[in-house]
Chain A
Amino acid sequence: MYSSPVLYDQSETIKEKLAFNDKRKKHLIIYDQKAVSDVKQVLAKDTQEELEYEHFEIGDSIDLQALRTLLYSQKMGTHLYIASDWDHAAAVFAEAIEAGFTEDEIQTIIYGPKRRYIYCMKCYQKSEINYDDEVQCTHCNAYMEVGPFFSKVRKGYIGYPFIPN
């Protein structure tokens, strides 16, 4: 959907470590190779508490058909945990939103750096950026101040162009 939530570096779904949400009846964990040992450790500990859970391991790449089948078969009361690097998490997050999960039903644990994007208000293109307050558009080279607002529609922080001194 046009204004559907997207994963960004300040997403309320991002947590430091995996912690089961006790308001939900079922826990679905999707993880990649970077998170495999942490996830197995948590599962070994928490399965003793008789939680209902299901998990899906991402290999070298995501099997999209299998992922979609899994996500679309879920019932209300399921909480989704995504434990992976940024690119895998962003892909799974987008598929989960499309399947019907809301941000309240997703927890994301990122392994490695998070990606940030800016939407240039001069050339209307998106560029990947670091954590600097001022950046340069990779498309039109305009200098931009990184705005505080993240646009779910444009999938980036709003970049305000300025003329440098």
Chain B
Amino acid sequence: MRVYGNIEMNVGKIEQITESVKRFYLYPSDQKLLPAFTGGAHITTYVNQGDKTLERDYSLVSDPTDRTHYSISINRDPNSRGGSVYWHDHVKVGDTVKTSFPKNHFTLGFHAKHHVFYAAGIGITPFLTMMTELEAQGKTFELHYAARTKEQCAFYDYLNEKYPGKCTFYFSRSDEPVRMTPETMKNQRIGSHVYFCGPVSMVTEYKEAALSYGYPEKSVHFELFAAAGGENNPFLVEIVNSNTVIEVSPEQTLLEALLDAGIEAPYSCKAGGCGQCEVDVVAGEVDHRDIFFSDEERKQKNMILTCCSRAKEEKLVLKI
């Protein structure tokens, strides 16, 4: 049985899903059964690119009950940090990659009576396994899915065929453009949980709308692709328990600077959504850029999420 470390995988098959989305099928090199996972789970992938390793998180899209392989779907985004472009342009059938065990920061609400999913673009991926799980349990759900066109809408045919009547599609660049809006949350039955996955702007808009419609915070779930942007000033970080001072450049996140300096800082999603990289702030003012902490928590706690938040001024003092 696998108990720790990463898993060596062979790329067994690559499918072109849309013009910009590819699905990669990963089989364990030792041919043992893979760890089980639940709807909404993701893995961290490690791909060697020359002398550096690209580390990226991708949602699992394979059937959670099939432990012979994992599959991930990646949208080629030339404006991202380079991971998706490398996967699309260089990873071939037969290549070996490493992955983590499955992790899940985006689980289904245990007590929900009805589940409502909102996906933008490649944000559909975590919902595929969630819907598989709910369908198997006979629970009710609906999907609202926005894409530019039908052709660019990954898994359009699969979703229509597998979940007839449960999926609503919104194509913003079709002949008759339709925009997905948060309004559909207004008339959901009591006991509904809502889930958002997409860019920061979309998730922020939908989260705020849900709260304004009176949803309790515990009924609102989300996952982000990337952390929110903003002006990146350089600043210094003093680690109080190791007497170290680190410079954080405008090109780096605080987390990257800590890891480059050899500090074993905790992290997972790298997008300000999971809270795994939370660190105590001893002194200095934080420019919070996550959507993990509520306004109240920001006032009460002296914490920073190192993957996305920065110093408001020249220096922060942290305890790690």
| Residues of A near any B CB (own CB < 8 A) | 1, 4, 23-26, 71-72, 74-79, 99-102, 104-105
Measured between beta carbons, the chain B residues less than 8 angstroms from A102 are: 111, 191, 216, 218-219
Main secondary structure of the interface of B (DSSP, over half): loop
- Flag if B192 contacts A76 (CB, 8 Å): yes
Measured between beta carbons, the chain A residues less than 8 angstroms from B187 are: 75
Please report the C-alpha to C-alpha distance between residue A33 and residue B8 in the assembled complex, in whole angstroms: 68
User: B178 to nearest A CB, angstroms?
Assistant: 23
Over the window 180-191 of chain B, the binary record of Cβ atoms lying under 8 Å from chain A Cβ atoms (1 yes, 0 no) is 000001111111
Q: Please give me the 7 A-B residue pairs with the lowest Cβ-Cβ distance, nearest first.
A: A100-B191, A77-B214, A104-B216, A100-B113, A100-B190, A74-B190, A24-B214
Over the window 85-119 of chain B, the binary record of Cβ atoms lying under 8 Å from chain A Cβ atoms (1 yes, 0 no) is 00000000000000000000000000111100000
**B213 at the A/B interface (Cβ < 8 Å)?**
yes
**B211 at the A/B interface (Cβ < 8 Å)?**
yes
Residues from 212 to 256 in B contacting A, C-beta threshold 8 Å: 213-219
Please report the C-alpha to C-alpha distance between residue A93 and residue B258 in the assembled complex, in whole angstroms: 50
Measured between beta carbons, the chain A residues less than 8 angstroms from B216 are: 102, 104-105
**In which size bucket is the chain B interface?**
20 to 34
Measured between beta carbons, the chain A residues less than 8 angstroms from B185 are: 76
Measured between beta carbons, the chain B residues less than 8 angstroms from A104 are: 216-218
- Flag if A75 contacts B186 (CB, 8 Å): yes
**Given A26-B214, A76-B185, A76-B214, A99–B111 Cβ distance below 8 Å?**
no
Task: Find the A residue at minimum CB distance from B211.
Answer: A23
Measured between beta carbons, the chain A residues less than 8 angstroms from B218 are: 102, 104
**Given A102-B218, A105-B216, A71–B211 Cβ distance below 8 Å?**
no
Measured between beta carbons, the chain A residues less than 8 angstroms from B214 are: 23-26, 76-79
**13 additional contacts (CB under 8 A) given A72-B190, A76-B192, A100-B190:** A75-B187, A75-B188, A76-B185, A76-B189, A76-B214, A76-B215, A100-B113, A100-B192, A102-B191, A102-B216, A102-B219, A104-B216, A104-B217
- Flag if B111 contacts A76 (CB, 8 Å): no
Measured between beta carbons, the chain B residues less than 8 angstroms from A76 are: 185-186, 188-190, 192, 213-215, 219
Measured between beta carbons, the chain B residues less than 8 angstroms from A101 are: 190-191
User: B296 to nearest A CB, angstroms?
Assistant: 13
User: A1 to nearest B CB, angstroms?
Assistant: 7
**Given A23-B214, A25-B214, A104-B216, A74–B189 Cβ distance below 8 Å?**
yes
**Given A100-B190, A100-B191, A101-B190, A77–B215 Cβ distance below 8 Å?**
yes
User: A28 to nearest B CB, angstroms?
Assistant: 9
Contact of B190 among A4, A23, A25, A71 (CB under 8 A): A71
- Flag if A100 contacts B189 (CB, 8 Å): yes
Please report the C-alpha to C-alpha distance between residue A4 and residue B111 in the assembled complex, in whole angstroms: 8
Please report the C-alpha to C-alpha distance between residue A77 and residue B220 in the assembled complex, in whole angstroms: 12
Task: Find the B residue at minimum CB distance from A5.
Answer: B111
Task: Find the B residue at minimum CB distance from A100.
Answer: B191
Measured between beta carbons, the chain A residues less than 8 angstroms from B113 are: 99-100
